[in-house]
Amino acid sequence: MDDATEPSPGDKAQMYLETLRLRMDPEPYRVLGEMLQEIVRLVAAPGRAAEQVPAPEDEQYYTDEVRDELMVLVAILLTGRMDQHIVNVGNGFITVVDSDALADESRMAHLRDQAAERRRASNEQEDVLRGIEEATRQCDEA
């Protein structure tokens, strides 16, 4: 396929959205669309304040499926590739990778190592914050 006939990343995302519309329940699909629109607006207007999406009354529809599909859609828009995969790299982190990255064991090992480092740093930060909170509580009690 030559460049003249290759669909744009936006067209590819639109095709993917159409498949989601056919298989997702209407409310989660609506929330997904609203979140995607907000991301596109933020990219188009850097510095603009983000709106709260989903709205508090729609948080019940922000499921893991919606989160995962949103990640895939953003990856399609950024890369123009439709071979995206959601991967749990461990330590509570998920990411989106294309088929090439998924097949590259060293790349996946690097992603797992990054996730482990982020978890370690997060745990250290939580320990420091707990220490500050405890010291503050002790000062308040004195």
Task: For 6-22, write each residue's pLDDT tens digit.
Answer: 999 999 999 999 999 99
User: What is the pLDDT, as a whole number, of residue 67?
Assistant: 95
Above 80 in pLDDT, residue 41? yes
Mean pLDDT over 111-122 rounds to: 91
Above 70 in pLDDT, residue 3? no
DSSP string, 65-134: HHHHHHHHHHHHHHH----EEEEEEETTEEEEEEHHHHH-HHHHHHHHHHHHHHHHHHHHHHHHHHHHHH
Mean pLDDT over 97-125 rounds to: 93
At 72, the pLDDT band (50, 70, 90 cuts) reads very high
Residue 53 per-residue DSSP state: S
Mean pLDDT over 66-81 rounds to: 95
Above 80 in pLDDT, residue 27? yes
Q: CA 120 to CA 126: how far, in whole Å?
A: 10
CB of 87 closer than 8 Å to CB of 95? yes
